Structure 1
């Protein structure tokens, strides 16, 4: 059933004239007549009585006019729902890197909740390997990784951006005053690092191993917020993504160390399975992540 035929039907019924309906819609009178005839043929009933150039709805025509109005109200509501994120609803499951989970909502949770009050989120903090296992079983809708650059034709990359990481310490640490820190000096320091299962920690270990070096941390833990707090109060060093430490570095509580030759490529990426249906709610979440997390 053609929507434009229903639209012409409504106009003819309300204006009581094929001519006036054609003028209102920007069609020729013959086009409107053809559309009404097509609609009547499809339904198998007359919608209008045409007597002496007058146009009057049949009884069935009156019933169908009411239904046609209802259909257009529904179509309008669907469009408004799609266009207005405040009316979006749904449950979105995201497998996410632990440090990204903490950082993403540390400052932006209230803003997110105000934008999407009808959307509920389930965040599953886990390793990159398990993320994709969950994605392949359709147990999550998105993965938000912090790892080496991932490309696989089974997954669609919604957003991606490189991430800088630095060795970092208290601004009062003796090495913070150095323009550069040699590796032989650095690896003798006391370290607080994230767990070795953390993606960027694994990449650091691979980098060090390839150069016959090793760092044995004094403490390993997953809470990057706690690590930054420990660094500010002590003499330890850590290796963290810049987004974790940017506030403390900006306020001169922490300092980045320049280590010559350090070259570790880390990316944050939002991906979904190529066969995943993208609902309006899921698209809104991806757009939010792309706007907030990748700006």
Structure 2
């Protein structure tokens, strides 16, 4: 049984498509089909059910997939040991980045710059997408690490390293009836019209969960794919919105209103909980953890000096 056949089988299983697997492996589709046929012939069972519309694992394929992943991980570990003996870490890390990554405590560029200085032999492949999509890709093996903005309850099967948390204010036009309020509650917003991002974005998930917890329904009339457009809809009085404060530029035409028990935008870097990361991904995660610890120390308020105690007191 050849490792390349197992790698091809795993790619088809994770992508759900021979075409996408070929793109991922950077080979022609006929090579992917041939590798899978060879593996099926060797094992004596079909691994995929093929139709004109989709590719699905058979029962045998579902049993083989976790074993194939473990075998490939063991082989990668062996290569990593040899690479380190040769004088440096090598390999590739697949890192997911959010489409609107504006948390004040998160800088992908800073992370990659420090990591490249430490490990110049490691390539980092960036994939931009929504938080929920990255979570699914981590679970399936298509990503090694990813930045996410998901509540803990939406991150089953993942280990999260929290990086930043922002209470999202309500954003409305300066002449909106709520603009002069010092604070609002979610129940005050039941009859309002909202603009928001697609349902798989982190800030949308956090907002939907907050309204569900408060048992308040809301109307999202507009869905847009970037925070700049979302704020523009608010500025032109089409709707109101919840936006992480780090994404908002000060504007006299906008009002930011605190919300009691409102949504919280939490940014984390996530790894799959059910499999061991390769050495390059572990090294990148260690760099992220080190930066997060340094940032936390830098933002801690200074301790208040205590007056010296008097003798005998």
Query: TM-score band (shorter)?
Result: 0.5 to 0.7
1:176 to 173, 176, 179: 179
- Spell out, residue by residue over 1:31-84, the C-alpha distance to the aligned partner (whole angstroms, 9 max, x if none): xxxxxxxxxxxxxxxxxxxxxxxxxxxxxxxxxxxxxxxxxxxx9x94xx78xx
The answer to whether the 8 Å contact 2:187/2:216 transfers is: no
Q: Unpaired runs of 5+ in structure 2?
A: 1-83, 300-313
1:166-219 CA-partner distances (Å, limit 9, x unpaired) = 211234544222223355653333321122333432343343344443211231
Match of 2:95 in 1: 94
| Higher helix content, 1 or 2 | 1
CA displacement 1:119-141 (0-9 Å, x = unmatched): 5432241343x434422343211
Deviations 1:74-107 (A, max 9, x none): x9x94xx78xxxxxx764322344333xx379x9
Deviations 1:120-163 (A, max 9, x none): 432241343x4344223432110221111269896544444433
Tell me the residue number matched to 1:221.
224
In the TM superposition, 1:230-245 aligns within 5 A as 230-234=233-237, 236-245=239-248
Does residue 187 (structure 1) correspond to residue 186 (structure 2)? The answer is no
Verify the 8 A CA contact 2:186 2:214 in the aligned structure 1: no
Residues 131 and 150 in structure 2, CA contact (< 8 A), matched pair in contact too: no
Q: Residue in 2 aligned with 1:271?
A: 270
Question: Match for residue 286 of structure 1?
Answer: 288
SS at match of 1:99: coil
Q: What secondary structure, in the 3-state scheme, does the structure 1 residue paired with 2:220 have?
A: coil
Distance 2:179 2:149 in 1: 27
> What CA distance in whole angstroms lies between the structure 1 residues aligned with 2:216 and 2:222?
18
CA distance in 2, matches of 1:209, 1:195: 17
Higher alpha-carbon deviation: 266-275 or 146-155: 146-155
Q: Distance in 2 between matches of 1:153 and 1:202?
A: 14
Asked if the contact 1:167–1:240 (Cα under 8 Å) also holds between the matched residues in 2, the reply is yes
Measure, in 2, the Cα distance between the counterparts of 1:151 and 1:233.
33
Indicate yes or no: 2:256 matched with 1:256. Answer: yes
Q: 1:195 to 1:170 in 2, by over 3 A?
A: same
Partner of 2:207: 204
Structure 1 unmatched runs, 5+: 1-74, 83-88
Partner of 1:43: none
Alpha-carbon distance in 2 for matches of 1:229, 1:92:
36
Q: TM-score, normalised by structure 1?
A: 0.53
Query: Does the aligned pair in 1 maintain the 2:139–2:158 contact within 8 Å?
Result: no
1:237 Cα shift? 0.7
The answer (yes or no) to whether the contact 1:104–1:293 under 8 Å persists in 2 is no
Distance 1:177 1:225 in 2: 24
Find the partner of 1:136 among 123, 134, 139. Answer: 139
Q: Which residue of 2 aligns with 1:165?
A: 168
